[in-house]
Amino acid sequence: MKKLLAILLALAAFPQAVPAETLAITGATIHTMGPEGTLKNGTLVIEDGKIRAVGASVAVPAGSRRIDARGKVVTPGLFDSVSQIGLVEVDAVEGSSDTTVEDDRITAAFNVADALNPRSTIIPVNRIEGVTRAVVAPRAGRSLIAGQAAIIHLGGPGDYLVRSPVAMFAVLGERGAGLSGGSRGGAMLRLREAFQDALDYAANRKAFEQGDRREYALSRLDLEALIPVVKGQLPLVLTVDRASDIEAALRLAKELDLKLILRSAAEGWMVARQIAEAKVPVLVDPLGNLPESFESLGATLETPARLYKAGVTVAFLSGDAHNSRNIKQAAGNAVAYGMPWEAALAAMTSVPARIWGIADRYGTLEPGKDADVVIWDGDPLEVTTFADAVFIRGRAMPMRSRQTELRDRYKDLKTPLPPAYQKP
């Protein structure tokens, strides 16, 4: 253990400068989430930021640095399917938050990638607990359509954008109604109008430029941004909870041939067969079980299990920035309420990789994929388990954050000098 720590500390000291050395993690229980399944006493080899080999009888390459992970558990880095990581420091400090554009003209065109801060204090806090990738999504302001989301990895500045845009985010239900004059019917009408305008614009761009086309409800930039959505290329993530709203969303997607993803879906289990038949993935917070509004009367902790058993593709979200790290606790609760353990881990790894179209690079521990790897000190879904080491694209992350520095400053209150002189 001490040796492992020493190696990790050495690696952590210069995260940007770590040479492309070959690492071999040995002796661990490895949940590959891929064809190799779960390996007892497996070996994982990382080289040039990629997974080079994984298996029960993989030889440790000569010259590689070996990390003895006996008794540990290895998984892919965790993926949060909706977060605001990198968009906010302190929610209540307006200037530090870029989650929302309060402008109903350009919110479809708004892409969070233009606002992202890969040096956010929130990133280390989450990555040292095993979150390595996340969808960063905008929040709805005054428009039904909040804007475009991006996928980032949490490995720090540089090429932190994994995919952008990855989806268009919008709201229906109570929130949508409130933004559309007070009725769900109004929200549906607005959304349909936006998509019809985008279709028309796509087919008549030249006429529009010449001023020879009817007026559109949306700005030119918004129409441009919506074209991949109406062409079924860019997923549309709709926040809906009430069963009837989910049915309406499914009808709309079918009518316009949209690539729909449902978010929240408190009552999704009530219409799970329809969702499964439509092959629409659902992004859920497993802990949302309160009948907080008249659209979530059916909320239950069994939502993940029920959806999963009905054949729905389920991924987990935190919907948060600061505590995206607690997504594993949420997953553990999904298991406590009936979801198979493997499915719950998949809902934070391989499943979102497929939903978000990055399964060629991430989501399983297979040769050739990016080495987003976490070594846990136990069952990763357990609340008492923490990450011992985190690799993002093969680089060992420093196991430090603003929080660990505050902890270390104050862990001994009897120092002769004031705490301000205690520096990491």
Partner 1 sequence: MPTIRPDSARPPVHLLLLVAFLGAGCASTPTAAPPAAPAEPANLAPPAKSSEPQMTKNAQASYSSSYKPLPSQPVLITNATLLTAAGDRIERGSVLLRDGKIAAVGASVQAPAGVTVVDGTGKWVTPGVIDAHSHLGVYPAPGVEGNDDGNEATSPNTAEVWAEHSVWPQDPQFPLSLAAGVTTMQILPGSANLFGGRSVTVKNVPARGVYGMKFPGAPYGLKMACGENPKRVYGSKGRAPSTRMGNVAGYRDAWIQAAKYRQSWDDYERKRKAGDKDAIPPNRDLKLETLAGVLAGDILVQNHCYRADEMLTMIEIAKEFGYKIAAFHHAVEAYKIADVLAANGICADMWADWWGFKMEAFDGIRENIPLVEKAGGCAVVHSDSANGIQRLNQEAAKAMAAGNRMGLHLREEDAIRWITINPAKSLGIGQQTGSLEPGKMADVVLWSGNPFSVYSRPEKVYIDGGLAYDRNDPSHQPEMDFELGIRDEQGTEVEP
Residue numbers of the site for partner 1 (CB under 8 A)?
A: 89-93, 97, 99-100, 122, 139, 174-175, 239, 241, 243, 263-264, 266, 269-274, 285, 287-294, 296-300, 302, 306, 309-310, 319-323, 325-326, 329, 332-333, 335-336, 381-386, 403-404, 406-407, 410-411, 413, 419
CB of 139 to partner 1, least distance (A): 6
Strand partners, 236: 168, 260
* Complex with partner 1: residue 321 or 358, whichever CB lies closer: 321
Q: Which is nearer to partner 1, 62 or 92 (CB)?
A: 92
| Token representation of residue 78 | 């965790």
In the DSSP assignment, the letter for residue 88 is B
203 vs 383 by CB, closer to partner 1: 383
CA atoms of 348 and 134, how far apart (whole Å): 10
Nearer to partner 1, 264 or 364 (CB): 264
The DSSP code for 130 is: T
Nearer to partner 1 by Cβ, of 332 and 352: the residue is 332
**Conformational region of residue 415, where left means phi above 0, alpha means psi within -120 to 50, and beta covers everything else:** beta
In angstroms, give the least distance from the CB of 302 to partner 1.
7
Residue 400 falls in which region: left (phi positive, over 0), alpha (psi -120 to 50) or beta: beta
- Closest approach of partner 1 to the CB of residue 291, in Å: 5
CA distances 25 to 104, 293, 345, 349, Å, are 50, 48, 20, 19
* Identity of the residue, 199 or 310, whose beta carbon is nearer to partner 1 in the bound complex: 310
How many angstroms separate the CA atoms of 73 and 42, rounded? Answer: 10
Cβ atoms of 299 and 290 within 8 Å: the answer is: yes
Provide the minimum distance between the beta carbon of 112 and partner 1 in the complex, in angstroms, as a whole number. 14
Kindly state the smallest distance separating residue 356's Cβ from partner 1, in Å.
19
Q: What is the DSSP letter of 11?
A: H
